[in-house]
Amino acid sequence: MSTAGLVRVLLCDDSPAARSVISRMLSSDPEIRVVGKAADGTEALAQLTAFAEADRPQVVLLDLEMPRMDGMTALPLLLKAVPGTAIIVASALSQRGAVATMTALRAGAVDYIPKPSAAAGGMSGGQFQAELVAKVKGWARMRRPSSRPAMPRAAAGWLGTAMPRPRAIAIGSSTGGPQALAALVARLDRPLGAPVIIVQHMPVGFTTLLADHLNRIGTLPCCEVGEGQSLLPGRLYLAPGDRHLIVREVAGGLVAHLGDGAPKNFCRPAVDPLLRSLVATCQGRLLVAILTGMGSDGLAGCRAVSRAGGVVLAQDEASSVVWGMPGAVARAGLANAILTVDDIAARIVAACADGKRT
């Protein structure tokens, strides 16, 4: 049967049960075809290189912990054998899994999918399947560029709108976010006159290592923010996994508060609580960027930002792995501009440089 036009996937996992469950989840989507299954990196490499170019998998889902040849050993070999293959690593929800994941992302993996523990319901949950399918389809599309999707118009008049220098810059991201954040942070190559506050949907432990990753690749210092920490201009602060980040004003400065409130938009940390708190403290002196991600987290917060006179930037569909979060903001007419990640970074730098327009 022809697989032309389908998203072709190679699964590599030493567990027959995991291969069966993941294959069934992916195959439930009519646009995805699992074209190969391997029990370790050696088998995955042999299978990937045996495909004719027209039938070759665009995406490899690679388990990191396997006998004979594990995922970390296989990753560079797969990339060398078939450059351009999108490799998504599967890792355990543990500190060890987080370390392995960030190492794999630095080595060329495009994304990760955390495997829920048996105590958390295993891989039977609908959220795991939704994230898995979204990442596989999103990265296959990114590796198969076609004509640029039509974009909604940005909010009128934004180019000529003068605004005071932002008191804070907020960034929200989810699916595909680690790579988008890395690209954006690498472009922030000069001092900024405001703190950059980031919410990335990620589990506990993973955010610590993501902050360290961003700290290594960028000019500006980045850390996972702590309770009561002052938010200083020219620094990047990442919300920790499983804690909402709220910003309060204390003695004329911005201070982080971490909360255990109920998840918002099925997420904790979530973008909306951060944006609402920033509107309360910064009013219209706020610049927000919503990057790639599933769902609509950030939409309600961006409405509040827009009403207060702040500026909202949304990542464009063509460069987003999943145009859920930025798409929701764009379709609602809240985006002052719809841009690539590189252009968003340039707008942030410009906003802090002249303090008059974004």
Strand partners, 91: 114
Strand partners, 249: 254
Bond into 30 cis (ω within 30): no
The phi-psi region of residue 191 (left if phi > 0; otherwise alpha if psi is between -120 and 50; otherwise beta) is beta
> Is-contact 133 29, C-beta < 8 A?
yes
CA–CA separation, 328 vs 314, rounded Å? 9
Residues 6+ apart with CB under 8 A from 12: 37, 38, 39, 40, 41, 43, 44, 60, 61, 62, 63, 66, 71, 74
> Is-contact 237 257, C-beta < 8 A?
no
Token couple for 274: 């951060």
Residues acting as catalytic residues: 174, 201, 297
Phi, psi (degrees; rounded to nearest 5) at 59: -130, 135
- At position 54, the amino acid (one-letter code) is A
> Is-contact 59 50, C-beta < 8 A?
no
Longest dimension (CA), the chain: 68
Any idea what the Cα angle at residue 240 is, between residues 238 and 246, rounded to 5°? 75
- At position 353, the amino acid (one-letter code) is A
Decide: helix, strand or coil at residue 9: strand
Neighbours of 356 (CB within 10 A): 12
> Is-contact 286 279, C-beta < 8 A?
yes
- Report DSSP state, residue 189: -
